[in-house]
């Protein structure tokens, strides 16, 4: 079977950026993701009948190239922040809708990638869970988070360099809650010992979606606690913060961030013995000066598309 020009593993913003740029340049690109919808950590969940963004809700970007790309694709309107901070775009719709728009026109297949195999002429086969036959590509770009990418490489019997072996993890707890109340200020931004930050999303029916990010100290303090007690403590704090609010529904999510521990000089990693294999995404320490991790992910995707487009593996 004819190989794809490029197979992209992961339909997060990094993978979607690579795929969309290369597709627009005329390449035959297939995106593979284990999830049933694109976006990765750009995601929306249904809590108590409300759509709440469980990851990113806005993009802060200093890089004019990133802003130009997102304005063209998504109609993003970046607002310059005062005091020299990076321009910011707050999503006008749910993150799920933004992700769908990002994936517009791309071929995306739902499948869990386990590992890779090598074939003739430097082609790389992507092996999917439950499928015997790999899908073949001239190049493969893995944009799964670093630990998953590491596992795929390891199961493929490929050797990792030191920087990729060294992964730094950080745990975060996120409380998603649907609230009802009459004295809530959607522009407020609170901070306490336990809840690091709170984001509000008002709904037209008067109810309010809320994301509360628990601080690292809370994560450490409650590491051994029963999840229900931890959840209860978070809700209690929320009640103190937002006095008149009634919690309609809520759920705690645990996110684990991981990125390469050693600073890297490129925004992606390319396998030394298999030049068609690229790894990218927000976990690749560079550029550490990016104003947000989503900007880092997009820039990583842009760099792969640009370099792969000019020198296919």
Q: Are 126 and 137 in contact (CB under 8 A)?
A: yes
Q: Interior CA angle at 77 toward 53 and 255, to 5°? A: 25
According to the binding rule CB under 6 A, does residue 267 interact with ligand FAD? Answer: no
Strands in 215-264 per DSSP E: 246-260
Which residue of 25, 28, 35, 306 would you call a contact of ligand FAD, by CB under 6 A?
Answer: 35
Residue at token pair 């297939």: 30
Q: Give 144 or 305: the residue with its C-beta nearer to ligand FAD.
A: 144
CA–CA separation, 313 and 311 (whole Å)? 6
Q: Give 77 or 244: the residue with its C-beta nearer to ligand FAD.
A: 77
Q: Give 160 or 180: the residue with its C-beta nearer to ligand FAD.
A: 160
Interacting span for ligand FAD (CB under 6 A) from 38-46, 176-184, 187-195, 228-236: 38-46
According to the binding rule CB under 6 A, does residue 212 interact with ligand FAD? Answer: no
Where in 107-126 is the site for ligand FAD (CB under 6 A)?
112-113
Helix axes 13-24, 293-310, angle to 10 degrees: 30
Interacting span for ligand FAD (CB under 6 A) from 40-48, 161-169, 175-183, 188-196: 40-48
119: number of Cβ within 10 Å: 13
3-state secondary structure of 279: strand
CA–CA separation, 296 and 52 (whole Å)? 24
Which residue of 6, 22, 32, 212 would you call a contact of ligand FAD, by CB under 6 A?
Answer: 32
Interacting span for ligand FAD (CB under 6 A) from 30-38, 86-94, 219-227, 237-245: 30-38
Quick one: which of 57, 32, 27 has its CA closest to 42?
A: 57
Q: Beta 246-260 vs 167-180: how paired, if at all?
A: antiparallel
Q: Give 12 or 209: the residue with its C-beta nearer to ligand FAD.
A: 12
Q: Give 216 or 244: the residue with its C-beta nearer to ligand FAD.
A: 216
Q: Are 238 and 175 in contact (CB under 8 A)?
A: yes
According to the binding rule CB under 6 A, does residue 148 interact with ligand FAD? Answer: yes
- The residues near 75 (Cβ < 8 Å, ≥ 6 apart) are none
Q: How far is the CB of 255 from ligand FAD (least distance, A)?
A: 4
Which residue of 3, 10, 276, 313 would you call a contact of ligand FAD, by CB under 6 A?
Answer: 10
Interface residues with ligand FAD (CB under 6 A) are: 9-15, 32-35, 40-42, 55-59, 112-113, 143-145, 148, 174, 255, 281-282, 292-294, 297
């Amino acid at each position: 079977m004819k190989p794809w020009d490029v197979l992209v593993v992961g339909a997060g913003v990094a993978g979607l950026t690579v795929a969309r740029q290369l597709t627009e340049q005329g390449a035959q690109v297939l995106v593979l993701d284990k999830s049933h919808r694109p976006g990765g950590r750009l995601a929306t969940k249904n809590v108590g009948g409300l759509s709440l963004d469980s990851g990113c809700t806005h993009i802060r970007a200093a890089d004019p190239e990133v802003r130009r790309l997102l304005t063209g694709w998504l109609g993003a309107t970046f607002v310059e922040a005062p005091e020299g901070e990076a321009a910011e775009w707050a999503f006008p719709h749910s993150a799920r809708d933004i992700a769908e728009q990002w994936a517009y026109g791309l071929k995306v297949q739902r499948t869990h990638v386990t590992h890779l195999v090598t074939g003739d002429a430097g082609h790389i086969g992507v092996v999917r869970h439950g499928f015997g036959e790999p899908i073949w590509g001239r190049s493969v770009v893995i944009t799964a988070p670093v630990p998953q990418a590491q596992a795929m490489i390891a199961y493929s019997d490929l050797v990792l360099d030191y920087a990729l072996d060294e992964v730094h993890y950080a745990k975060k707890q996120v409380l998603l809650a649907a609230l009802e109340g009459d004295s809530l200020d959607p522009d407020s931004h609170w901070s306490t010992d336990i809840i690091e930050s709170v984001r509000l999303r008002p709904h037209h029916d008067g109810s309010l979606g809320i994301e509360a990010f628990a601080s690292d100290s809370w994560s450490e303090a409650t590491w051994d606690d029963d999840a229900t007690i931890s959840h209860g403590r978070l809700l209690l704090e929320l009640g103190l913060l937002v006095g008149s609010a009634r919690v309609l529904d809520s759920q705690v999510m645990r996110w684990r961030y991981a990125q390469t521990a050693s600073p890297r000089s490129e925004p992606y990693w390319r396998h030394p013995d298999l030049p068609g294999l690229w790894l990218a995404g927000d976990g690749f320490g560079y550029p550490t000066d990016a104003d947000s991790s989503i900007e880092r992910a997009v820039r990583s995707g842009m760099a792969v598309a640009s370099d792969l487009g000019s020198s296919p593996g």
